[in-house]
Structure 1
Amino acid sequence: MADLIFDPDLWARRASVARESATSLDALGDRLASLVSRNYFGCGCVEGERMFTLLQSLLSAGVGMLQDAASAASNISELTTLGGRILETSDGQTGLFQMDGK
């Protein structure tokens, strides 16, 4: 049977990557939201108005998806940090944490 080793540095890195992902996804959502701020397809033109409305709806849906993904990544970061603390505490209580002389 292989030994399981808890590495707090790896858990911290996982949390950091998730936090960075959340920040990047938020920024991407902000950029997407401001991508098309005015109607370039023809004001007063039925087809142009409809095209602009559909594009705004599509962009809004994309922004919502990015915000949801950013929120999920932020939650993963928080839960990974918490999980790492729980595992470290548990290993410390049982004396099973044996890495680099600890």
Structure 2
Amino acid sequence: MSEFAFEASAWQIRAQVAGSAAVDLDGLSRALSKVARHNYFGVGCEEGEEVYRKLQTLISTATADLHARASDARSLKVKSLTGSAELVDADQFNGPQYRGGSTS
């Protein structure tokens, strides 16, 4: 097989993995958003409240990042499926001319 060979199955696998990753990343984002919903570091304690604020900022940032990566994975899934379909169409259209046939 040539290094330029197109394999529809590889594109389908890419799409499946990306879709699975999106689901997992969304789940992690939801789970992380539930961490430390309450201040266990000391209400009325300046240090405890500061630690809690910083932890909430960290969790918020990480949750948003995980959600963004999940969105990227969903986009990759769509692009993989679209790319696969476009390559199949191109092969069907161009294949006959390389085998001595016509494209019509």
TM-score (norm 2): 0.87
1:50 equivalent to 2:64? Answer: no
Q: Please state how far the C-alpha of 1:7 moved relative to its aligned partner.
A: 1.3
Q: Please state how far the C-alpha of 1:3 moved relative to its aligned partner.
A: 5.6
Structure with bigger gyration radius:
2
Distance across 2 between alignment mates of 1:81 and 1:4: 18
Equivalent residue, structure 1, for 2:24: 24
Structure 2, unmatched stretches of 5+, are: 99-104
Structure 1 pair 3/69, CA: closer, same or farther in 2 (3 Å)? Answer: closer
1:9-45, Cα deviation, whole Å (9 max, x unpaired): 1110100000100110000011110011100000111
1:91 equivalent to 2:91? Answer: yes
Q: Please state how far the C-alpha of 1:4 moved relative to its aligned partner.
A: 2.5
Aligned residues: 95
Structure 1, unmatched stretches of 5+, are: 97-102
Equivalent residue, structure 2, for 1:99: none
The structure with higher relative contact order (CA 8 Å, sep 6+) is 1
What is the identity percentage for the equivalent residue pairs of Structure 1 and Structure 2?
34
Distance across 2 between alignment mates of 1:3 and 1:34: 47
Equivalent residue, structure 2, for 1:36: 36
SS at match of 1:74: helix
